[in-house]
Amino acid sequence: MENKTQKRNGFASGIGFILAAAGSAIGLGNLWSFPYKTAKYGGAAFVFTYILSVLIIGVIVMVAELHIGRRSQANPVSAYKKVNKNVGWLGLFAVLIPFFIICYYSVLGGYTVKYAMNSFAGNAGILETFTGNAGEVIMYTAIFMILAILVVMAGVKGGIEKASKVLMPTLFFILVAVAVYSLFLGEGVSEGLNFYLNPDFSELGFDGILAAMSQAFFSLSLGMGIMVSYGSYAGKEIKVGQSISMICIFDTMVALLAGLAIFPAVYHYQAVSGATNVETGGLLLMFQTLPLVFEGMGTFGQILSFFFFAMVVIAALTSVISLLEVVTQLVIQKFHVQRKKAILVVAAICFAISIPIGISLGLVLNGDKSMLICGQNWLDFFDLVTNVVLMPLGALGACMVLGWMLDKPAKKSDMFNPMYLNETLKKDGLNLGWFGKVFAVMVKYVTPLLILVVEIFGVFDIIMPANSITGIRAFSSNGLGIVLTAYGLCVVAIAVYFMFFKKSETGNNADELLIEEKQVKAE
Binding footprint of ligand PHE on the chain (CB under 6 A):
24-25, 27-30, 101, 218-219, 221, 224, 226, 319, 322-323
Residues in the chain: 523
* Nearer Cβ to ligand PHE (215/270): 215
CA-to-CA distance for 99 and 322, rounded, in angstroms?
A: 11
From the CB of 491, what's the least distance to ligand PHE, in Å?
22
* Nearer Cβ to ligand PHE (95/363): 95
Could you tell me which residues are beta bridge partners of residue 373? Answer: 376
CA neighbor of 170 nearest in space, from 16, 262, 307? 307
From the CB of 281, what's the least distance to ligand PHE, in Å?
16
* Nearer Cβ to ligand PHE (109/188): 109
* Nearer Cβ to ligand PHE (65/511): 65
Contacts of 165 (CB under 8 A, 6+ apart): 15, 16, 19
* Nearer Cβ to ligand PHE (31/189): 31
* Nearer Cβ to ligand PHE (153/395): 395
From the CB of 106, what's the least distance to ligand PHE, in Å?
12
Contact assessment for residue 82 and residue 502, using Cβ atoms and an 8 Å cutoff: no
- One DSSP character per residue, 482-520 reads HHHHHHHHHHHHHHHIIIIISSS----HHHHHHHHHHHH
Contacts of 13 (CB under 8 A, 6+ apart): 161
From the CB of 25, what's the least distance to ligand PHE, in Å?
5
CA neighbor of 19 nearest in space, from 168, 175, 226? 168
From the CB of 29, what's the least distance to ligand PHE, in Å?
2
CA-to-CA distance for 352 and 348, rounded, in angstroms?
A: 6
- One DSSP character per residue, 111-143 reads HHHHHHHTTTT--TT-HHHHHH-HHHHHHHHHH
Residue 159: CB atoms within 10 A of its CB come to: 21
* Nearer Cβ to ligand PHE (101/116): 101
* Nearer Cβ to ligand PHE (35/42): 35
* Nearer Cβ to ligand PHE (174/292): 174
From the CB of 448, what's the least distance to ligand PHE, in Å?
20
Over the range 246-277, which residues count as b (16 or more CB within 10 Å of their CB) and which as e? Answer: bbbebbbebbbbbbbbbbbbbbbbbbeeeeee
From the CB of 67, what's the least distance to ligand PHE, in Å?
19
From the CB of 471, what's the least distance to ligand PHE, in Å?
29
Contacts of 157 (CB under 8 A, 6+ apart): 9, 10, 11, 12, 16
From the CB of 255, what's the least distance to ligand PHE, in Å?
8
Contact assessment for residue 487 and residue 495, using Cβ atoms and an 8 Å cutoff: no
